[in-house]
Structure 1
Amino acid sequence: MWLTKWLTLLFVVQIFGDIPIPTDCPLSFDDLYPHCPNWDERDFDFIIVGGGTAGCTLANRLTEVKEWNVLLIEAGGIPSNLSEIPGMYIALQGTPEDWSFKAQDPITSTGYKNSVTSWAKGKVLGGSSTINAMVTVPGVPEDYDHWAELGNEGWDWSNVTKYFDKVEEMVKITRYRSNLPMRTTLETAIQELGIDTTGSSTFGYRDVPIQVNEGQRYSHAKAYLTPIRDRENLCVVTEMQVIGILFDEESNIQGVTVNDSFNNEIQEIKANIEVILSAGAINTPQILMLSGIGPEDHLEDLDIPTKVNLPVGKNLMDHMIIPVFIQEIIPLRGLATSLEHRINEYCENGTILDTLGITNFQGYLNTQNGSRLDNLQRPNVEIIHFSFPPQEPMLPITLDKFGYLDYYRTQLEEINQDKYIQMILIEVLHPQSRGTVELSTTDPYTQPRITPNYLSHPRDVQTVLEGASFIEALVNTNTLSNYRLVDLKIPECDQFMFESPGYWTCYATTFATTIYHPSGTCTMGNDSITSVVNTRLQVWGVPKLRVVDSSVIPELISGHTNIPVGMIAEKAADFIKEDYNYLV
């Protein structure tokens, strides 16, 4: 126990300098997760690659069949104490619990260092459910009906509802209304615009629940692995990276090849029945392509023999965001409290950092005045708010994690010395732009090349402009009369009038970034020309191989992806049981 607390102290000192978590903060848990010291002495029926949201779900459900021995492999380690604190989630980015992917477009995101955007994805047991913002918004029924209309039979709302119910039974959530004054101020301003704030409508603002239980994060690792940590037919191995799929001489799947970091050696592990890739929308296509499953022309460029020619890494979708800032005109608010005070308060009383503040008060809007989007009545924009009182210590941390150039950080931090700042995210829920994930080398330890192609489709640009118009209208309400948009000095945008369409287009091009929902890189469908897996999530042309994670999503939903990925895994578990006659 003392070692765990010392490591926590060291971990936080590295992030916050002189602001450590107190060593007596009650965050440590002994034997919370399954262990498997003798994994190399056992035989396995299923190997699950990736211990994230989908992997944890599958591990639980497949080991319900007592005859099946299941190995769950996670490249990262056990969740840190810091990951338990809901209000500190942004600080987990760039740590060992994050893959720290970088994406780069040829034109956009020039406001960030080296013109790259930081794509945080969990490299830890629980995956991104251990480092994300814990928001649980599964979208609307029309999202899943549209999946079925795209050719994915059995994925309509009526057929996925029971799997969302199963996730809800396992994952503990907290519903709350922030008691911060800005929460009430925002609600009044939004009501001025005639927008619903009761949560009774598909459209409008509402307090969304978060994956928190008794003031601590409740990841899918806690929800699905902790209750079965003593299940004898489950083996969970951490700090082991899968670097390829193992085939025999006739190209039949045998298992996986791994780098065992503990023993510092490459090993092969066999699977008697199936290998399931649940490594996420970036790692899963990387593993497939390194193994010869992917676009033939791309593999040939890297001298990788093609086993199956499939559009792996294509169709990359992401919920792009444009961060916009507003500020007080006349300073009226007191200074922010220190991080040290908040951490101590959290450790002693479980308060302040036990929620997301006003960030769970979110807007889901159709900016086209209620017109039908893709013939479906659903939101096309999400609005998210972050609150920064004067001298807020989380502002420089947030700007650093986003990767803002020092030129822009300095402007915002100077304003925040004596004025309240709010960061408002315009999130495009149904982007038409499509990107790619490609191999940069044949080295499995080198990050793949991620090209989001943000704003490459004119509809996405128009949606951003409409979202910006909403922010302008919000700031112009009587309630927010003491606020104005921050006029960031952006050299590339000087030629445009502030708040004009040209300005907002330039602004969006400068600051387009991610809210960490990459999807679609192994999309499901009904043919091997346009999709990588069939509707039962089996890889086309590769028996004994499935993909179960966000990469199979055919189109992004009107919400956040973590809970839908859990649903996908629950449904996949039933597919597998049914295929082998174990579904009751």
Structure 2
Amino acid sequence: MRSSSSAPVAGEYDYLVIGAGSAGCAVAGRLAENPTISVAVIESGGCDDHYLIWTPVGLAKTVVKPGPYNYGYYSEPQAALGGRTNYQPRGRVLGGSSSVNGMVYIRGHHKDYDDWAAQGCHGWSFNDVLPYFRRSENNRRFAGTDNPWHGTEGPLYVNDLRSPNPFAKSFLQAAEQAGHKLNDDFNGAEQEGFGYYQVTQHNGERWNAARAYLHRGEAANGRYNNGRTNLHVLTETQALRLVFDGRRAVGVVVVRGGVEQVLRARREVIVSGGVFNSPQLLLASGIGPAEHLRSFGVEVLQDLPGVGENLQDHLDIVINTQLDSTDLFGATLRGGLRLLREIRRYRRDRTGMLTSNFVEAGAFVKSRPEVERPDLNLVFTVALIGNRNMGSRRKLGHGYSGHVCVLRPESRGFVRLRSPDVRDAPLIDTQLMSAPRDMETLIAGIHIMRDVLGQPAMRDLGGREMRSESFADEASLRAFVRDHADCLYHPVGTCRMGPDTDRLAVVDPELRVRGVEGLRVVDCSIMPTLIGGNTNAPAMMIGEKAADMIRAAAR
């Protein structure tokens, strides 16, 4: 069954890693530390050596629409959102989404991982995963110290913002005026509170997963100058389907330069395509719900009903305030002149507004006192941000925005094939806000955010709250949510991890795909439940932990 492919064999390696995103870079980089084994990383996108990626504010160009570095997927129309689609940016470049994201370093709440362990994912409690977070991290704030929560010698640089925006400082002052506590380390002993985010930057530049685990160099000037002859990085190489010998994964069919080839793995194939592309590749290769596969003429290798199920993402709403200040980003003539000065400053010493990740400060708060851990993330952004209903950048001008995010939504969506050809975008249905509780939690967060933004530290700066009529009464507020709520680009869960008793689990706690051999999934799709925070750092943790599992299995 599926013993070979008609395409010629182009290379053989010990391990094939399909996808050079955050988790894929981490697992490949760690495996390649053993010089006696060979690792090939297969990436459909190109090299990450571009100023729009290295310069932090470049994300304003790379993330807003599909392009050379971004798949730019869209969901199916959402019934709870008046038929709107959700935009789903995903990195298509070395480093994956770590090359186009907001660079926020957040791990989530300790109990998020304890929940995984309680669900039968043994070895994934917070105490189990903390060493991998620390091994990954090179946190410059704690350099020279023995901090129990942070690492200082890992490949992933983490830093405080180089040039914090004055409006972010005012936001934190307003939080204190509203009676909230400050927190200078969301990744320490306690997550709750308001504070500045730490970011994955070094010397004022983005430090993505490829820079951390593949290039392994300060400048990363060479395309693949990683100093390791056993690590092979294959860009602009699209994986089409997995190759099996019986029920064992032995390779992958790829297309490079328009030519189909087979890459073979002597030991294991590791799928790290991300929350949308990993289930898509499994489905196209005959692993997934049998009825769905047959409807596309795909031969069923393993009937796994959970492939593509359990899609979760953070639900988000934005409150925008227009304010004519060039300390805030905006598409105006005055803003353009300020930007020219900031470009010169950045070229000179890597400081100033171009080092901003836009989302500079935020908070983790509880929607209700009885909630055991923060279930809301409030994010302060030094620009006007919103969905497609908000209008053009030029019309919006300068201002700031307050995001309200539901950290543990109850809504669940799914990913399916749109066609058996993985070069076609997968069918994504987020089912956003299909669970009524998500709307209620979001509304509670809106009230908290508006209370903070209404304090003197922010109110006295001036500005005009956009769509203020939406907050006049409960009916208007709910209509505002339906018209403007969206995803926060933290999808997880579509190849979920679980014990043998979980019929919808796609992988076991060792991340091995059920029912076949030699195949693992290593990315955020394995998360059984969404963590309370950004997903980039957890993705690298997953890659770090998977590398140890894979090495142990090879002994």
Q: Shift of residue 43 of structure 1? A: 2.5
2:259 & 2:77 partners in 1: Cα distance? 36
Alignment of 1:46-125 (within 5 A): 46-79=15-48, 80-93=50-63, 94-109=66-81, 115-125=84-94
2:233 is aligned, of 228, 233, 236, to: 236
Tell me if structure 2 keeps the 8 A contact 1:538–1:545.
Answer: yes
Match of 1:258 in 2: 254
Gaps of at least 5 residues in structure 1 are 1-38, 389-394, 490-496
Gaps of at least 5 residues in structure 2 are 1-7, 138-153, 217-224, 328-333
Match of 2:532 in 1: 558
Alignment of 1:427-442 (within 5 A): 427-442=405-420
- 356 and 89 in structure 1: CA distance in 2 versus 1, 3 angstrom threshold: same
Tell me if structure 1 keeps the 8 A contact 2:30–2:544.
Answer: yes
2:102 is aligned, of 122, 133, 136, to: 133
1:193 is aligned, of 178, 185, 191, to: 178
Tell me if structure 1 keeps the 8 A contact 2:376–2:404.
Answer: yes
Match of 2:142 in 1: none
- 257 and 89 in structure 1: CA distance in 2 versus 1, 3 angstrom threshold: same
Secondary structure of 2:422's match? coil
- 105 and 54 in structure 1: CA distance in 2 versus 1, 3 angstrom threshold: same
Q: Shift of residue 292 of structure 1? A: 0.7
2:485 & 2:311 partners in 1: Cα distance? 16
Match of 1:443 in 2: 421
Match of 2:146 in 1: none
Tell me if structure 2 keeps the 8 A contact 1:105–1:453.
Answer: no
Higher mean C-alpha deviation, range 519-528 or range 542-551: 519-528
Higher mean C-alpha deviation, range 252-261 or range 566-575: 252-261
Code of the aligned partner of 2:380: H
Match of 2:378 in 1: 383
Q: Shift of residue 153 of structure 1? A: 0.8
2:467 & 2:81 partners in 1: Cα distance? 18
Q: Shift of residue 349 of structure 1? A: 3.4
Cα shift readout 1:398-435 (whole Å, capped 9, x = no counterpart): 65xx5x14xx305x85463xxx5222111111111000
Q: Shift of residue 301 of structure 1? A: 1.9
1:564 & 1:215 partners in 2: Cα distance? 23
Cα shift readout 1:351-400 (whole Å, capped 9, x = no counterpart): 2244326622111111112x23xxxx321111112224xxxxxx5xx65x
Tell me if structure 2 keeps the 8 A contact 1:468–1:504.
Answer: no
Code of the aligned partner of 1:83: I
Tell me if structure 1 keeps the 8 A contact 2:296–2:420.
Answer: yes
1:362 & 1:273 partners in 2: Cα distance? 44
Q: When the two structures are superposed, what TM-score results if normalisation uses the length of structure 2?
A: 0.86
2:335 & 2:81 partners in 1: Cα distance? 30
Q: Shift of residue 170 of structure 1? A: 1.4
Tell me if structure 2 keeps the 8 A contact 1:318–1:519.
Answer: yes
Tell me if structure 2 keeps the 8 A contact 1:475–1:483.
Answer: no
Code of the aligned partner of 2:346: Y
Aligned length: 506
1:40 & 1:300 partners in 2: Cα distance? 28
Match of 1:29 in 2: none
Secondary structure of 1:225's match? helix
Alignment of 1:278-297 (within 5 A): 278-297=272-291
Code of the aligned partner of 1:343: I
Q: Shift of residue 108 of structure 1? A: 4.2
Secondary structure of 2:130's match? helix
Cα shift readout 1:197-237 (whole Å, capped 9, x = no counterpart): 24365211111110110111111111111238121221111
Q: Shift of residue 488 of structure 1? A: 6.6
Code of the aligned partner of 1:252: R
2:353 & 2:458 partners in 1: Cα distance? 26
1:479 & 1:212 partners in 2: Cα distance? 29
Tell me if structure 2 keeps the 8 A contact 1:182–1:358.
Answer: no
Match of 2:141 in 1: none
Q: State whether structure 2 residue 202 is matched by structure 1 residue 213.
A: yes
- 349 and 61 in structure 1: CA distance in 2 versus 1, 3 angstrom threshold: closer
Tell me if structure 1 keeps the 8 A contact 2:162–2:355.
Answer: no
Q: Shift of residue 104 of structure 1? A: 2.6
1:500 & 1:298 partners in 2: Cα distance? 45
Code of the aligned partner of 1:275: V
Match of 1:10 in 2: none
Match of 1:465 in 2: 443
Cα shift readout 1:325-365 (whole Å, capped 9, x = no counterpart): 1245xx68785343444333322332224432662211111
Secondary structure of 2:86's match? strand
Code of the aligned partner of 1:255: G
2:477 is aligned, of 489, 500, 504, to: 504
1:303 is aligned, of 297, 321, 338, to: 297
Q: When the two structures are superposed, what TM-score results if normalisation uses the length of structure 1?
A: 0.82
Q: Shift of residue 55 of structure 1? A: 1.3
Q: Shift of residue 293 of structure 1? A: 0.4
Tell me if structure 2 keeps the 8 A contact 1:88–1:353.
Answer: no
- Percent identical across equivalent pairs? 31
Q: Shift of residue 498 of structure 1? A: 3.6
Alignment of 1:484-499 (within 5 A): 485-487=465-467, 498-499=471-472
Tell me if structure 1 keeps the 8 A contact 2:342–2:354.
Answer: no
1:540 & 1:221 partners in 2: Cα distance? 29
- 65 and 358 in structure 1: CA distance in 2 versus 1, 3 angstrom threshold: closer
2:234 & 2:394 partners in 1: Cα distance? 43
Secondary structure of 2:68's match? coil
Secondary structure of 2:355's match? coil
Tell me if structure 1 keeps the 8 A contact 2:56–2:357.
Answer: no
Q: Shift of residue 567 of structure 1? A: 0.7
- 560 and 298 in structure 1: CA distance in 2 versus 1, 3 angstrom threshold: same
- 327 and 292 in structure 1: CA distance in 2 versus 1, 3 angstrom threshold: same
Backbone CA RMSD of aligned residues: 2.3
Alignment of 1:519-530 (within 5 A): 519-527=492-500, 529-530=503-504
Match of 1:170 in 2: 155
Tell me if structure 1 keeps the 8 A contact 2:316–2:406.
Answer: yes
